[in-house]
Amino acid sequence: MAGAGTQNAGLAFGGYAGFSSLSCTEEYNGTSWSSGGALINGRSGEESVGTGIQSSALKIGGQFFDNDPAEEYDGTSWSTGGTMNVTRTGLGAAGTQNSTLAFGGCFSYYNCTEEYNGTSWTNGPTLIVGRRGIGGLGTQNEALAFGGFGPSSSSPFSCTEEYNGTSWSAGGALTNPVSFTAGAGTQNAGLAIGGRPSSPGPSSTSDVQEYNGSSWSAGSSLITGRREAASAGSNSSALAFGGYFSSSTGLSSTEELGESGISTKTFEYSSTTGETTVSCLIETSAERYKNNIQPMESQLSKVMQLQPVEFDWKTNKKHDIGFVADSVKDIYPNLVSTNEQGEVEGMNYSKLVSALVKSLQEQQEQLNLLSNEIKNLKNN
């Protein structure tokens, strides 16, 4: 089957029993499954995949040589969406209902990528390694493709590829090569759940692999090994359901990964993205370390000169918000750092909080004065 949503609000749809495609949909509330609206075209999980959340999901992919239109779920019923440009099966996907990335699959188009905007599909850059039975997770502009097998070999791949909204690049190799694996989480915090560890056949694995943006490592294993399963949620709160075990008999079991199944990251640095993740950052600030402590002077006029901006990073094209340190240097030179050549390098965002708090206090004082003036006018 295919899946979407979160651990406590999952969606399962399609699949097959006795080699007959199913159109049923089921919704998970964190405790039990209940029936939802039926698909327009029933499809098995190998042929279709899902993205989105329980109340706003997307089913994509056709069965064998059929190129069914995508189907959109609104929490009650399915409706017809845009038809993909390339007919294929065994593809991977990432994103939301109105911003989906579909990649890989067959027939003959193992490396194609398509992007969905909620209405129509457009062609994107091809995968570095074409394959089917591929796992996927993340968003349209920050997707992860992993595992699968190619047109000339039935052995699963270990390769991982990362998508930045423009192109695919190589990521860390899977610890254990798999195909038809399920994915959950984000590009820098993902899970590969179960899958087929060898050439097409009855085998399946209980392995769960974790990705940190650079490399894969072993995670908490499934209770029941499964392939061609569906999944939902994040790397720390995931849902795995359905699939096959060691025969062609489908599984109805559901498994949840809670906080007990994964350790909390207290510190992590990614040399690929430059991002540092910490559970809590404490800056030295005790009075005993400071001299000449004075109340801060007025900051409102300075804060009003700051220019918050939106921008795209040159390295990974990622859209972001913040300040341009060069423009901040004239206002708060002590918050801006330079390199050995004297070029502006960056700024200390946390120290800016003090100036913002002071400005807020000044504005509140002004509001209090105006409020008192208004009261006096009314009284007079």
Kindly state whether residue 282 falls inside one of the protein's structural domains: no
pLDDT recorded at residue 10: 96
Return the bridge partners of 191, or none. 184, 210
**DSSP-derived 3-state class of residue 100:** strand
Q: Is residue 323 over pLDDT 90?
A: yes
Helix (H) or strand (E) holding 345: strand 344-347
Cα–Cα distance between 27 and 75 in angstroms, integer?
Answer: 9
265 and 301 part of one domain: no
Query: Residue type for 278, please?
Result: V
261 and 300 part of one domain: no
Kindly state whether residue 303 falls inside one of the protein's structural domains: yes
Report if pTM > 0.95: no
211 and 320 part of one domain: no
Given 229, 251, 269, the domain boundary residue is 269
Given 226, 253, 269, the domain boundary residue is 269
Across 139-148, 210-219, 357-366, 370-379, least confident range: 370-379
Span 359-379, average pLDDT: 93
Given 223, 253, 269, the domain boundary residue is 269
Confidence of residue 378 (pLDDT cuts 50, 70, 90): confident
Kindly state whether residue 277 falls inside one of the protein's structural domains: no
Q: The domain that contains 29 carries what CATH number? A: 2.120.10.80
Confidence of residue 115 (pLDDT cuts 50, 70, 90): very high
Q: Which residues of 200-216 are buried (b: 16+ CB within 10 A; e: fewer)?
A: eeeebbbbbbbbbbbeb
Q: What is the pLDDT of residues 121-150, one digit of tens each?
A: 999 999 999 998 999 999 999 999 999 988
Kindly state whether residue 290 falls inside one of the protein's structural domains: no
| Count of structural domains within the chain | 2
Q: The domain that contains 311 carries what CATH number? A: 1.10.10.10
Return the bridge partners of 72, or none. 58, 79
Q: Is residue 260 over pLDDT 50?
A: no
CA angle, residues 39, 124, 153, in degrees to nearest 5 = 80
Kindly state whether residue 117 falls inside one of the protein's structural domains: yes
263 and 142 part of one domain: yes
226 and 304 part of one domain: no
Kindly state whether residue 291 falls inside one of the protein's structural domains: no
Query: Residue type for 247, please?
Result: S
Query: What is the chain's mean pLDDT, rounded?
Result: 89
Q: What percent of the chain has pLDDT over 70?
A: 89
Contact 60, 84 (CB under 8 A): yes
Kindly state whether residue 350 falls inside one of the protein's structural domains: yes
Q: Is residue 206 over pLDDT 80?
A: yes
322 and 362 part of one domain: yes
221 and 159 part of one domain: yes
300 and 188 part of one domain: no
pLDDT recorded at residue 73: 97
103 and 241 part of one domain: yes
pLDDT recorded at residue 104: 92
Contact 342, 329 (CB under 8 A): no
pLDDT recorded at residue 75: 96
182 and 96 part of one domain: yes
Q: What is the pLDDT of residues 91-110, one digit of tens each?
A: 999 999 999 999 998 866 68
Cα–Cα distance between 56 and 11 in angstroms, integer?
Answer: 10
pLDDT recorded at residue 78: 96
Kindly state whether residue 343 falls inside one of the protein's structural domains: yes
199 and 319 part of one domain: no
Query: Between the CA of residue 120 and those of 116, 117, 373, what are the distances in Å?
Result: 6, 6, 58
59 and 97 part of one domain: yes
Span 16-43, average pLDDT: 85
Range of the domain at 123: 2-269
